[in-house]
Homo-oligomer: A and B are copies of this chain.
Amino acid sequence: MTNRQILLKSRPVGWPTLDNFEVATVDIPKPANGEVLVKVIYMSVDPYMRGRMSDAKSYAEPFAVGEPCQAGVVGKVMESNNGKFPEGTYLMGMGIWGNYFVTDGTGFQPIDASIAPLHYYLGILGMPGMTAYVGLTAIANLKEGDQLFVSAASGAVGQVVGQIGKNMGCHVAGSAGTDDKVAYLKDELGFDAAFNYKKGDIYKSVKTANPKGIDVYFENVGGPILEAVLNNINDKARIALCGMIADYNATVDNLPVGPRNLTALVKCSVKMQGFIVFNYLKECQDWIPLGAKWLKEGKLKYRVSVAENIENAPQAFLDVLAGKNFGKQVVKLADE
């Protein structure tokens, strides 16, 4: 039993590199009164973590330099001084990039390992799935028959967005960054249209994939796709801004280009709204049983990339930023 952690060694400027991280080996902590010792089985790597590596104003506290990065984790209680989480309990919540940690349980919840693979609680039944559901319901008010478009459509959030859309009777189109991902969207997930945004004219691709225009756009990427979307936006459309990964590594010398056609928002009475999933707790709670039901009925599929060992967490994170993952990226730290 060794306890390794990934510390934030320095704040990245622009694109992060492996040099921004370091591995530390530390003692396994002892849980105090009211605390439990958690062994991390899976940890999540997500694009939003890039924001927390900077000290700029954002919705979450920045990671501290010299301290372990934080992550959503699924783990098992190995030692308990807290009656709510007996030894052997599987639980999910915000932990660290590391093998073991102690917590008093605040913000953690027990999970049912019989419903789905444990790492689904970091993906389709966890924050990414909740994000898809909150964005489509609380923000975009998705309705049957809507023309739905989603970028980064094979990603952790995007693949859930598209399938919720199909389950709700929408026309669903998506973009992704490789032909394999595009084939997955069309052949496996039942998207009505999908294209590789790295090939061809993005303006034509968006138009072709959305022949009746766009009522709801679920924005995961930022950059020029938004401009192409606004050229095809329908009256009273809703844009849920989940993330803008293309812009996360911007620097003063390398600012993103903004969409030049924001007047479309006025002309078509469009609502564009950023959101943080955890401000919509009701919808988050609604999602777990609905997602579990749809999984059981075969109405949801989910693709996951699993990296192994804590030492590979930084590379897995860099891969997510670069779009090299296929589906939700997690890191497996231990057997169940």
Count identical subunits in the complex: 2
Q: Which residue of B lies closest to A48 (CB)?
A: B266
B222 touches A267 (CB 8 A): no
Q: Which residue of B lies closest to A227 (CB)?
A: B258
Interface residue A58 (Cβ < 8 Å from any Cβ of B) = yes
Interface residue A276 (Cβ < 8 Å from any Cβ of B) = yes
B275 touches A263 (CB 8 A): no
Interface residue A279 (Cβ < 8 Å from any Cβ of B) = yes
Contact A269 B274, CB 8 Å, known A59-B235, A222-B263, A248-B263: yes
Contact A57 B222, CB 8 Å, known A257-B258, A258-B227, A258-B260: no
Interface residue A247 (Cβ < 8 Å from any Cβ of B) = yes
* 19 additional A-B residue pairs with CB within 8 Å, beyond A244-B266, A258-B259, A266-B275: A51-B267, A59-B235, A59-B269, A242-B266, A247-B262, A247-B263, A248-B263, A250-B263, A256-B263, A257-B260, A258-B260, A258-B262, A266-B274, A269-B274, A270-B274, A271-B271, A271-B273, A272-B272, A273-B273
Query: In terms of DSSP, what is the predominant structure of the interface of chain A?
Result: loop
> How far is the CB of A148 from the nearest CB of chain B, in Å?
19
**Chain A residues within 8 Å of chain B by Cβ, number:** 38
